[in-house]
Amino acid sequence: MPPLFSIGVKSSLTKPKKKSKKSKSKIYMFVPILEFKVYTGPRWIRPSNVSKSIAYKYSSLDTIQTYGKIRNQIQRNKSEMRFTCFNTLYQWKPPQQVASAIQSYYSKQENEWNRVRFTYFKIFTLKRKIKTLIFRWKLRNCLRNVKNTEDPVTMDVPKKLVSIVDFERGMSFVYEASTLRKTIESRILLSDYMFPEPDNPLNVLTNMPFTYGQLISVIQQCKQHNETSWILEGLKHTKYNLKLFIAYYKKQLKVEAIKAFFKTPVYLLQETVVDYFTSEAEKAFIPEVKIDNFVDAYTNRPEMPIIKQWISHTRDFYIAKELQDTILLINQVVRTQRLLNNVSRVFS
């Protein structure tokens, strides 16, 4: 018998539909955390024998410590005040007496700001003069306290005298200008193999690096004695910043490192020179016997002219390669062929 259905009765054959629940969207509000920091630095002492209006103007500047910032703030206040004054008069046409009163008030305010600015100007002018006097007093005391009378390298009294002042220790040193120039250059031209490794110039007597002010003074004094070079001028051009100097004069330092390497004893250059000679000889199909004879001659008779020529030729090759100069590279090819012909003739 088929199942009976009736109106209002839930059928057991149909599944009840689930009601969909709509998710409520949540709104998040990010409230910034404001932190109030109390000023704990120095403050100006305000004058006591001035009007309340001027005292208020001083109080608005009592945390500013430089004259430039004080002057800019006063100028900003005067500009804002002047704009408000003329903007008000432009929009509203007051009677002549009211306009005169408004103009008089703002003129008084501007005059008071000028008085405040002039007070700070006198304070900072006096401060600058006192600093100058203190500096000159310290300088005179340091120059009196000279720690040496002879140049540490030449062991003679300097003819082209250069003074180095050490304010921290309250003393000074004297050098020959040429000694200081060579000392600075030797530190800048430090290298390992053919790789430059510049270092900060040192005061030979204290073994301490020159300070920024000392380096400026030394280079200026050396230039006055006509003791200068591209290194000293380069340091001046790069504001005495060693890292910046290395970036600007990278190629020059590399060339100087190559030249310094080839000034070392001949036996230290053998591997570099022989490697270059061998590679060029093999390209030109030079017999292996002659190559071996050249290597033996380098080991036993390095004073031979042909050996010295190949040493200088190898140096010039590395310099030309570093500079990537077309003319130098072409000259290297021509000279290489000529020297290989000399090797074939000498070691026949």
Same domain, 170 and 239: yes
Same domain, 267 and 341: yes
Same domain, 168 and 241: yes
Residue 187 lies in a domain: yes
The DSSP secondary-structure symbol of 265 reads: -
| Domain residue limits at 169 | 161-253
Same domain, 246 and 269: no
pTM of the model: 0.70
- Of the three residues 139, 173, 189, the one that is the final residue of a domain is 139
As to burial, measured by CB atoms within 10 angstroms (0-12 exposed, 13-18 middle, 19+ buried), residue 304 is middle
HSE-CB at 294 with a 13 A cutoff on CA atoms is 32
Same domain, 58 and 124: yes
Same domain, 246 and 311: no
According to the model, what pLDDT value does residue 249 have? 95
Same domain, 178 and 239: yes
- Of the three residues 201, 219, 253, the one that is the final residue of a domain is 253
| Residue numbers of the chain with a pLDDT score lower than 70 | 1-31, 82-92, 94, 348
Same domain, 190 and 248: yes
According to the model, what pLDDT value does residue 100 have? 83
CB distance 110 to 78 below 8 Å? yes
Name the domain count of the chain. Answer: 3
Residue 173 lies in a domain: yes
According to the model, what pLDDT value does residue 309 have? 93
Same domain, 277 and 228: no
Distance, C-alpha 100 to centroid of its chain: 57
According to the model, what pLDDT value does residue 1 have? 47
According to the model, what pLDDT value does residue 8 have? 53
CB distance 187 to 210 below 8 Å? no
According to the model, what pLDDT value does residue 133 have? 95
Residue 156 lies in a domain: no
According to the model, what pLDDT value does residue 82 have? 65
Same domain, 242 and 273: no
- Of the three residues 188, 222, 253, the one that is the final residue of a domain is 253
Residue 194 lies in a domain: yes
